[in-house]
Amino acid sequence: MSTSTVLITGATSGFGLASARLFAEHGYPLIITGRRVDRLQKLSDELSALVPVHYVPLDVRDAQAVSEMVATLPESFRNIEVLVNNAGLALGSGPAWEASLEDWHTMIDTNVTGLVNVTHCLLPILRQQPKASIINLASVASNWSYPGSHVYGGSKAFVAQFSRNLRCDLAGSGVRVTSLEPGMCETEFSLVRFKGDQEKSDNLYKGVNPIRPDDIADIIFWIASQPAHININSLEVMPTSQAWDNFKVVRETD
Ligand code: NDP
Ligand code: 8X3
């Protein structure tokens, strides 16, 4: 069993859940967080058979709660070597002028402010480690524009650039930083984006053979397992069935 702990935000579903299981299989003590307590409890019960698990109900938007979570960590979980900044969401997929301002704020508060809250609190701990990793969940939407991405893509562009800038400050400290940028992966992501419309979510993935949460967990584990002298700066991954499309041109005759 490893003596170094892995902290995962948003471990109640999707990438976070799959990563928690994979790190546990490899013997890493875990701190798992998310808002849905019942799911955290269930996952903790499942994984405690393999490794020590500390679960903390946490909304990453609440800077005070994040700070308290870190300040009150049991001594045996303070040795955090891997931070998976995964909690995040998209809300809505229509054009910008139809989006709700509340949804925009929620995405910024979660994907930008929440990730910054957690990172800021964890940096002093991570910097004490001989080798550590911050793995930030950005997106293909960080790099490429598409209709309906507006604030979601903007928030993920922040994550990618923040990751690169952190790298500059942390170079030589032993703390590696990665911007992981997946494309279409079937999780609860689209169910959340489409406000609970399961049919719309299912249709999006129909016939696509999308990325699976376990695929992303494998990549996260691989990034964290690199030797100390290697930093994976960014990694963009799509299902084979997904690719870029042409620029949009609106003609006067349209
Ligand atoms: P899921 O919806 O399956 O999981 C999202 C996780 O984030 C849940 O565990 C949820 O937990 C947590 N979360 C959301 N809001 C908060 C909050 N305010 N505080 C704490 N936790 C929160 O989606 P994915 O696993 O697909 O998404 C994980 C990350 O990957 C996200 O950042 C997403 O933007 C990104 N991503 C997803 C892609 C995809 O196609 N699926 C592609 C590229 C990037 P809870 O609700 O219990 O709080
Ligand atoms: C999620 C992937 O393509 O829906 O970040 O923006 S996409």
- pLDDT of 254 > 80? The answer is no
Q: For the chain, list the domains and their CATH numbers.
A: 5-237 (3.40.50.720)
Q: 159 pLDDT band (50/70/90 cuts)?
A: very high
The yes-or-no answer on residue 55 being catalytic is no
Ligand 2: residue whose CA is nearest its atom 5? 139
Name the band, by pLDDT with cuts 50, 70 and 90, for residue 119: very high
Mutate which of 86, 139, 241 for ligand 2? The one with the most ligand atoms within 8 Å of its CB, which is 139
| Residues written for the chain | 254
For residue 59, the model assigns a pLDDT of 99
pTM of the model: 0.98
Q: Cβ contacts of residue 77 below 8 Å, gap of 6+?
A: 5, 29, 31, 52, 54
Among residues 200, 81, 183, 84, the alpha carbon closest in space to that of 132 is found at: 81
Average pLDDT score over residue span 181-185 = 98
Q: What's the whole-number average pLDDT of the chain?
A: 97
Q: Provide the pLDDT confidence category of residue 4 given band limits of 50, 70 and 90.
A: very high
The whole-number pLDDT of residue 113 equals 99
What's residue 248's pLDDT? Answer: 87
Ligand nearest to C-alpha 88: 1
Percent of the chain with pLDDT over 90: 96
Residue-level pLDDT at 3: 79
